[in-house]
Amino acid sequence: MKKTWYYRLLFSYMPVFFLMISFLFFIFFQILSDRAQQDTSRIYASVNNQIVQSVEQTLKSIDHLMVTMQTRNNGSADFNLLDYFDQEGQPSVFFTHQATQEFNNMKQLGTMIHSIYLVRDRDGYVLSSNRVSPLEQFPDRTFIAELKKGGSYHWTDERSFKEFATSREEPVVSLARKYLTNRGESGLMIVNVQVSALEQLVSQRIDRTSSYVTIKGKDGLPLLQANEQGSEGTAISTIVSDYTGWTYESGLAKGSGFSTLRTLSNIWVAMAIGVAILGLLSIVYMTHRNYRPLRSLISKLDRISSVPPESVGGEERNNEFHYIESTFDSLVERFNLFKSQSDLNIGYRKKSIFLEAMSGSRSMAAAEWNAEMERHGFSGGFRQAAVVVVSIDKYSDVLSRYKEQDMILFRFIIQNMYVELVQKFGLRSWSEWMNDKEMCGFVYVQEDNPGELIPCIQELADSALAWIRAHLPFTITFGIGPAIDSVPLLKSSYKAAVGAVNDRVVLGNNRIIGYWETAADSVELYHFLEQIRRLVYAFRMMEPEWRAKYAALCEQLKLNRPKRDEIVNLLNYFAFHLFEHIRGNVLNDEMIETNKAIMKDVIDQFETLEDVQEEILGILEKLEYALMEKAGKGGAAEIAIRMRQYIDEHVSNPDLSLVHLSQLFDIPSRNVSSLFKEQFDIKFIDFLIHRRVELAKKMLMETDLSVQDVGQRVGYLNSVSFNRVFKRVVGMPPGDYRKEQLG
């Protein structure tokens, strides 16, 4: 027998080998280059975002300490640091000691703080934790002068600071805040943060041997630089902070391992060529080696074959494969048996391919997708398609009422109902259960009808919803993704359909939600935080309007339609502030913790906004009842509530004061403010100002009265005092407020 197969093996392997090596070389370097760039960009964008968040969180916490300074004291009801602005000349030793303690407390709260000092506008005196001196003797007087000339009250770029003339200058960034006391006196507080402390904070979040981070100030000059070599490299990610105006730039440092690795590509090519040569030699060797088992196999077939070797024709004997083929005919029956067993795994492969296509975890060309569809009984490909998602509403509740066997049956019923409706409407679909509660359907047509697919799917969904309502003990939500015309867009249509289903948190369940109804961008949540603070304040004050404010908050959520995660964050913020304000003397800790745990469970498990709105309202009403019951038992709480009611009714009385209340309620005037603070966690004067400003804002919006008349009607006979108080609380004069609100 000639070695026909031997030579065929030898010469057929070579072109395949060279083609495969060439193709793999191209694919390898192309994928390596693209993937490295993508991964590096994502990593540095994430690192840069983390650095920005870390720096801004630190600076914002210091900013918050300064903003809340007017409500802080040094453990004594008689001491307020801002009283320094009402003084004149050298402060007392006791006041200086108390101020030093307050500065130290602020440094403990804001660990990045390097130094703090106050500047009094009346006489220019400077007070810090280490000295008290006139402004002309203070080394930082140039910076203070720039502020008074109209400098920025935002975080500065890098500057030099020293507290004493003999001290060493240190690079810092500074934040200044202007304060106005109740007596109309003003002054500045300046907080300095060392640049080296920020550099240490940033350095903890990067690998300084291979990466660098540079923060540039608003003037474009480097503020700090974090890397081991001290020089920049390849910039990959740049972010401009909205809060500080600084520019954060990060990337690969010069001389890093990754940069060095890229220079070794020529060595990799040489190594690949060497491997190719070695592979060629291996093919020759393996061909020779592998032919021996084939020769041995033919010898064995000669022995076990039922056909005598002598009866085999010469042509067949000279061709090894022909001879082997005739011998293996007897194995066809057993192969068919094996095939029938392997068909049992088709269902698993079918679902696996479907999940990979929808999630985008596997990139599939149109030809491959059409082949998979053909393999699983969906022939012909598609011209246009859309992805739909069917989700069981309130699945945890349904699962608590039925066994797992029942849920399997329900899923089977839903899928069969869906398939029948697809056929009824003349569509085609491939559907699979993505998880226990959600089924995904790939709905497609093979004709060119771009304007009809989505309306047909909507009619199908209407029929499905009606059928489920009539025949099953639960409801479903039907999400529809956009129509697509190519396989790579399947992922986007599926993502849109899932997003539509998730929007039932604000749109409601037991309905159809199309991709056109979903919000494209995230919602700005800042104004919701202000609404929540006002709601908590109204509830804590036991104002009747708290229910209306709660309903308005929920209505705003429905109108703005934030994502579920955003709603959860807002509700957690609301719960935190609510229970912090009614803790302690208001309600006991046991009641607080019990209701707090109940509210947390409600927030974690809700599916629609209507559900969580009603459940939280029930919790608030129970807490309101407890607060009113405690107030009804008399004592200090009852007197404080009566005082608050009297203030609400006589808020426009210009004679309303601590003395007036002490005479009316027969309580020493020194005890009125402390009683009010104890019961409502707010000073009497702050509460009165809040009430008058709120009333003034309403009158400015709803009447044509002049600013002076509005001030008189809310209890301020002096228009200057009214303007000053209104500006301190609202941030702008009453006239400007009216213009801004009325447009």
- Whole-number pLDDT of residue 478: 93
pLDDT-derived band at 462 (thresholds 50, 70, 90) equals very high
DSSP for 678-743, please give it. HHHSS-HHHHHHHHHHHHHHHHHHH----HHHHHHHTT-SSHHHHHHHHHHHHSS-HHHHHHHHH-
Report the predicted TM-score, pTM, of the whole model to 2 decimal places.
0.42
- Whole-number pLDDT of residue 536: 80
Residue 310 has pLDDT above 60, yes or no: no
Q: Picking from 73-77, 175-179, 435-439, 472-476, which range would have the lowest pLDDT averaged per residue?
A: 73-77
Name the helix (H) or strand (E) containing 672. Answer: helix 669-680
- Whole-number pLDDT of residue 473: 92
- Whole-number pLDDT of residue 390: 94
- Report residue 245 as tokens: 């105006």
pLDDT in tens, 278-289: 766 767 676 766
- Whole-number pLDDT of residue 315: 52
Residue 338 has pLDDT above 70, yes or no: no
Percentage of residues in the chain with pLDDT exceeding 70? Answer: 76
Q: Which residue has the higher pLDDT, 589 or 105?
A: 105
152-180 mean pLDDT: 86
- Report residue 169 as tokens: 């200058």
Strands 234-240 and 247-252, by their bridges, are antiparallel
Distance, CA of 390 to CA of 394 (rounded, Å): 13
- Whole-number pLDDT of residue 388: 94
What average pLDDT does the chain have? 78
**CB–CB of 385/442 below 8 Å?**
yes
484 secondary structure, DSSP code: B
Percentage of residues in the chain with pLDDT exceeding 90? Answer: 8
pLDDT-derived band at 329 (thresholds 50, 70, 90) equals low
Cα dihedral 642/647/648/651 (nearest 10): 170
- Whole-number pLDDT of residue 75: 47
Closest CA to 611 of 331, 293, 326, 397: 397
Residue 504 has pLDDT above 80, yes or no: yes
- Whole-number pLDDT of residue 643: 76
pLDDT-derived band at 328 (thresholds 50, 70, 90) equals low
The angle formed by the CA atoms of residues 93, 98 and 99, to the nearest 5 degrees, is 95
- Report residue 255 as tokens: 């001389």
- Whole-number pLDDT of residue 467: 94
Q: Hey, what amino acid is at 311?
A: S
Q: Which residue has the higher pLDDT, 346 or 596?
A: 596
pLDDT in tens, 102-151: 888 888 888 888 889 899 988 888 988 888 889 888 898 888 888 888 76
pLDDT in tens, 400-455: 889 989 999 999 999 999 999 998 988 888 899 988 889 999 898 887 655 688 88
- The alpha helices in 606-668, defined as continuous H runs, are 609-632, 636-649, 658-665
- Whole-number pLDDT of residue 332: 52
Q: Picking from 35-49, 238-252, 326-340, 710-724, which range would have the lowest pLDDT averaged per residue?
A: 326-340
Q: Picking from 451-465, 469-483, 636-650, which range would have the lowest pLDDT averaged per residue?
A: 636-650
Cα dihedral 665/671/674/680 (nearest 10): -10
Residue 237 has pLDDT above 70, yes or no: yes
Highest averaged pLDDT of the listed ranges 18-27, 333-342, 453-462, 713-722: 453-462
192-215 mean pLDDT: 81
- Report residue 126 as tokens: 């400077």
Cβ atoms < 10 Å from Cβ of 674: 13
10-37 mean pLDDT: 67
Residue 575 has pLDDT above 50, yes or no: yes
Q: Which residue has the higher pLDDT, 624 or 409?
A: 409
672-698 mean pLDDT: 77
Residue 3 has pLDDT above 70, yes or no: no
